[in-house]
Amino acid sequence: MSLNGWLQIVLFIVVILSLAKPLGSYMTRVFERRKTFLDPILVPCERLLYRMTGIQMDQEMRWTDYAVAMLLFSAATLVFTYVIERVQYFLPLNPQHLAGVEPALALNTAISFTTNTNWQSYTPETTMSYLTQMLGLATHNFWSGAVGMAMAIAFIRGITRRESKTLGNFWVDLTRATLWVLLPLSIVTSLALVSQGVVQNFRAYDTVKLVEPQRTTGSDGKTTMVTTQTIAQGPVASQEAIKMLGTNGGGFFNANSAHPFENPTPLSNFIEMGAIFLIPAGLVVTLGEMARSRKHAWAVLGAMTVLWFVGVFACYWAESQPNPLLYGVDQRASSAQAGGNMESKEVRFGITNSALFATVTTDASCGAVNSMHDSFMPLGGMIPLINMLLGEVVFGGVGAGLYGMLVYVVMAVFIAGLMVGRTPEYLGKKIEAYDVQMSMLYLLIFPLVILGFTAIATQMPNLGLSSLTNHGPHGLSEILYAYTSTAANNGSAFAGLNANTRWYNYSLGAAMFFGRFMMAIPMLAIAGNLAKKKIVPASAGTFPVTTPLFTILLMGVILIVGALTFFPALSLGPILEHLLLQARQAF
């Protein structure tokens, strides 16, 4: 670890917290339908959309109607993307004449982008045409992000409204999240990335001559000389911007944000990391302003920031240690680079920005990577895994991180009420049995999906274990990471598991589906139940949710739930691998 590295980390979080306030205030105005500077352009577009689709913007929905609308929209867009993948060979903007995607992979990918996961069991530049990348996948980056934002706003309304049966209109929230928030930010971010050299074109792939021809041996044992290389390109910057802002994470190229066409410079790296946290941090401020309790928002944001810092510190420390398995390699610090484990990392980013990016992308449900987590040190690779196992609530995905954190808030308030022997209250709403039951259902679905599928995969040698490139504790970590990433709607991978098999395409698709929609239903049920309640004035026995003590309690609840549930699996995976590595080093 170095002073320069810590200055970069501090600069990053200062920028995020500085931008959270103005963006959060802007989103409050957007979702409360107050005037914004974009109204002269976007209001006519909004009205035209409602006129074309028959939406009544003043017609509000009960939580059940809101959930049904969300599910129908997601199902329709899933089918839309699946069809495009299957018939892409016959569609335009396919200069490489790529064939249609096979059924199991097409279904997995359609579910992946619909659920804001963007798990990719394929090599994008050799599988998806330009049209599929844009019309099938990039559009989902907007839609799935907007759906998450809409559900978060619905939860906030459930907290703030009194004796109300409705949570707003899903179609209006979806439209406003897309037009007023995601689209303008994407345009600005795209231009910033283009300025750094991120590719944006529709050209066919170029074939260039190698400066140094390479000798290769084929499967038949014959040796040939490779003298050319195919350079993939395409409309990258536009997809890169929304993949980060919408916390989607799907790469235009297989190497994702480690590819120089996606992420060429340290500044583009900083912009991409900032885009991941920007909207999740802003939505917490939106919570405080809509609930008329800014101190509560900063208490929640404080919990997120502390958990983020702990993760960054642990990952940065672990990756700064020399890898004892790299014999004969000088891993000491130099004038250009801090010493440590540089395997799997881009030299232009180094250990600091690799560890920071890995922590940021798994704190949010983004899944973009600028280094390969499979080659991290055992404890360094465990941090991204833990970030996801905590429920993607440390800033979290666009919308999903906030409503996941609010479920934990409900549980923290309930526990605080038990400690003082009073009916728990949250911002004037009494937390009752139904709220706790739905919160527990939300929290139990997540480990059931992850641990259930992981257990099944480890017991099937021909289906689950045959895809592993590593065995022992690291192999378990690869499988656990895959199901954690998909159930958490993150999408990053340990990169040591061949997931493009029938078993993994279907099982990981199911994990993504359950992790998004089965958890959204109880969350909306809580919101609907809270909206019906009266506001109860605070009393001497009310546990304040605006103090550092509440921040500590909230962090404790998050860590305890995650630790108790997943510690046995972590013990058999990265923790055991770390101990074996230390024992091997000692002898």
Each residue of 497-516: pLDDT tens digit?
888 999 999 999 999 999 99
CA distances to 51, 86, 206, 361 from 202, rounded to whole Å, are 34, 21, 12, 28
Q: Which residues on adjacent β-strands are paired with residue 478?
A: none
Distance CA 241, CA 198 (A): 10
- pLDDT of 484 reads 94
Residue 171: name the closest of 152, 150, 145, 148 by CA: 150
Distance CA 73, CA 456 (A): 32
* pLDDT value of residue 333: 52
pTM score, two decimals?
0.91
- Sorted by sequence, the CB contacts under 8 Å of residue 110 that are 6+ apart come out as 78, 79, 81, 82, 85
Percent of the chain with pLDDT over 70: 97
Structure confidence at residue 329 (pLDDT): 56
User: In angstroms, rounded to a whole number, what is the distance separating the alpha carbons of residues 170 and 74?
Assistant: 12
Supply the pLDDT for residue 327: 54
Q: For residue 417, what pLDDT is reported? A: 86
Mapping DSSP to helix (H, G, I), strand (E, B) and coil, where does residue 40 land? Answer: helix
pLDDT value of residue 328 = 52
What integer is the mean pLDDT of 4-30?
95
The most confident of 58-72, 196-210, 539-553, by mean pLDDT? 58-72
What are 576's two structure tokens? 């055991």
**Each residue of 159-192: pLDDT tens digit?**
999 999 999 999 999 999 999 999 999 999 999 9
Q: Residue 222's pLDDT is what?
A: 82
pLDDT tens by residue, 77-131: 999 999 999 999 999 999 889 999 999 999 999 999 999 998 988 888 889 999 9
Query: Higher model confidence: residue 331 or residue 38?
Result: 38
Tell the residue number behind the tokens 């590593």, with chain if given.
470
Share of the chain above pLDDT 90, in %: 70
pLDDT at 326: 66
Supply the pLDDT for residue 225. Answer: 87
40-62 pLDDT, tens per residue? 999 999 999 999 999 998 899 99
Residue 339's pLDDT is: 67
Average pLDDT, the chain: 91
- What confidence tier does 16 reach under pLDDT thresholds 50, 70, 90? very high
Give yes or no for residue 336 having a pLDDT over 50. no
Q: Which long-range contacts (CB under 8 A, 24 or more apart) does 331-338 make?
A: 333/2, 338/1, 338/2, 338/4, 338/5
pLDDT reported for residue 335: 39
Query: In Å, what is the CA distance from 547 to each residue of 24, 154, 279?
Result: 21, 25, 24
The whole-number average pLDDT for the span 205-212 is: 89
State the Cα–Cα distance between residues 132 and 284, nearest whole angstrom.
34
Please say if the pLDDT value at position 266 is more than 80. Answer: yes
